[in-house]
Homo-oligomer: A and B are copies of this chain.
Amino acid sequence: MASKRANEELPVIARFEVRRRNYLAPDGSIDRPLPAFATDPKLLVELYRSMVLLRLFDRKAVALQRTGRLGTYAVSLGQEAVSVGIASAMREDDVLLPSYRDNGALLWRGVKLEEILLFWGGDERGNQFSGPVHDFPFCVPVGSQAPHAAGVAYALKLRKEPHVAVCMFGDGATSKGDVYEAMNFAGVHKLPLVFVATNNQWAISVPLRLQTGSETLAQKAIAAGFSGEQVDGSDVVAMRAAAEEAIAAARDGKGPHFIEAVTYRLGDHTTSDDALRYRSAEEVQAHWKEEPIARLRSYLVGQKMWTKADEEQLAAECHERIEAAVERYLTTPPRRAETMFDNLYADLPEAYAAQRRELAGEHDA
């Protein structure tokens, strides 16, 4: 606490608090009256379907990796509610700046499954995706997209466009100076910018307590002079509600907001990782109780919005969609080597054109 040590007789000049949002309890019961959008069964079902698709797609991607047909891949297992909930609250004209683990958000925004596979398969064409043309590609250097988000939001504000930038990153990213610098700038200019930190408790093997001494990640917004809140990140209703409010407020000129989505990474960090090296199976097991898909399913089933037949049909649909995408991915013609020079500059300078020709197997006269 900022005042922990200050003499009690000194006057308090500023007070802050952090609230926590959740609606669905882990067992699918209701902890708090649901927000308005949740009265629409269609939307809830759509959120559910997206999370299921994401989970099944992740599973397939890992299988592809294990059989040498895909590179390193990062699953969303246990965190599906975050990226899906956030993306579902965005408009197409809003701008997404995702991390490498935010597949769910890209899918919601229209990026094709095979495009995501192309990216993780080591092909830049995966970044030339069918999602909104202004959206950013996955960001691999952790947190380094946060200053871009501030630049995007500044541009939106400068042009008086009613759009909002949404920047997603992990708990690890909140330790990075660039993320802080971006937040601080967003605070100065009250930018239309929502930061979403997916607090899945781990940055590879580094647990949250070694990442920061702060009680919450939400309170990091206090340093930048704007609001932050903690959200149950395994509750897609809470994620969507938090995003909806924050994005609407940002669109309204009320400035930035920080959402800490508290969840848990049930899978390995990536396919290159073996999480059992640094955390126990029991710990992971315990968190399975909270995971977002079963939680929403319980609610939907309880509300008679979802049946076993629906579930079976969904599985079949997803399977088909995924297999078709994998097929398209695997049959995508390879890029010619010399295309690595394409889009290096708008026009390739002569100094490098010769290298391109060499690579193409042409030889200079």
Contact = CB atoms under 8 A, between A and B. Distances in A.
Interface in A188-217: 188-190, 209-216
Of the four ranges (under 10, 10 to 19, 20 to 34, 35 or more), the interface on chain A belongs to 35 or more
B215 A14 contact: yes
A11 B19 contact: yes
Given A14-B17, A227-B3, A190 B213 contact: yes
A180 B214 CA distance: 13
A284 to B, nearest CB: 24
Interface stretch (A99-107, A218-226, A313-321, A351-359): A218-226
A337 interface: no
Per assembly, the copies of the chain total 2
Most chain B CB atoms below 10 A, which of A230, A249, A254 = A230
B216 A13 contact: yes
A13 B210 CA distance: 21
A281 interface: no
A17 B1 contact: yes
Nearest to A215: B14
A32 interface: yes
Contacts of A228: 2
Contacts of A16: 1-3, 15-17, 219, 222
Interface string A15-35: 111111100000000001000
A6 interface: yes
A103 to B, nearest CB: 28
Contacts of A220: 223
Contacts of A15: 1, 15-18
Residues of A contacting B: mostly: mixed
A337 B323 CA distance: 72
Contact of A14 (B3, B190, B219): B219
A10 interface: yes
B227 A212 contact: no
Contacts of A365: none
| Among A4, A11, A175, A213, residue most surrounded by chain B Cβ atoms (within 10 Å) | A213
Nearest to A3: B17
A335 interface: no
A231 to B, nearest CB: 10
A218 B2 contact: yes
Contacts of A229: 2-3, 5-6, 10
B18 A227 contact: no
A230 B221 CA distance: 19
Contacts of A254: 5
A272 to B, nearest CB: 26
A249 to B, nearest CB: 6
A141 to B, nearest CB: 14
A9 interface: yes
A245 interface: yes
B219 A180 contact: no
A354 to B, nearest CB: 33
A139 B325 CA distance: 56
A35 B75 CA distance: 57
A177 to B, nearest CB: 2
Contacts of A4: 227
A93 interface: no
5 contacts: A3-B18, A5-B249, A10-B19, A13-B230, A188-B210
List the 4 closest A-B pairs by CB distance, nearest first.
Answer: A177-B177, A187-B213, A213-B225, A223-B223
